[in-house]
Structure 1
Amino acid sequence: MPRLNQTHHQLVPVPIPDRVAQLIGTTIPLPVLQAEMDATFEVADICRYRPLASDEDRADREAALARLARLNKTLAKHHPKLVRGTA
């Protein structure tokens, strides 16, 4: 009997209709939704700073990383896959 080769297929992103996204959003607590939005902005902010540019940029980047870590704790409590990375 031939052995089946089990490969993992890459997931293809599927667009979610606005109404479905709204229904999903109503099931998520407001603090988690706010943390998700804030984390998205923090990641953009972190990418904006150049770590070797100046002491101010370094300090601002470190502060943004700290805020992102706090937000990620909130997101991870709700669901681990919500955690945002900086890359």
Structure 2
Amino acid sequence: MADPTPAEVQRYIADGLSCTELQVDGDGRHFFATIVSAEFEGLNRVRRHQRVYQALGERMREQIHALSMKTLTPAEWAQQGSAEHHHS
């Protein structure tokens, strides 16, 4: 089975999870995703990751260990965005 591209991983996540912001980078072996979803409200980090794995389903079962992610709610994302502007 061919390694998925970042675009495919992004599509898989978007299919199973409604995201307000979604960025996936990677080289086919390792992926890094930034995922912002209102569905993460009230969930801890582990539960958020489980939610993403659920969205990915069987398609990524083999590659899932190579996915690192940052999971944020829209509020956390907005906060982080404004924090980054202050430090630059």
Q: Which has the higher contact order (CA 8 A, sep 6+)?
A: 2
Fold match (TM-score > 0.5): no
| Larger proportion of helix | 1
| Larger proportion of strand | 2
Tell me the TM-score normalized by structure 1: 0.29
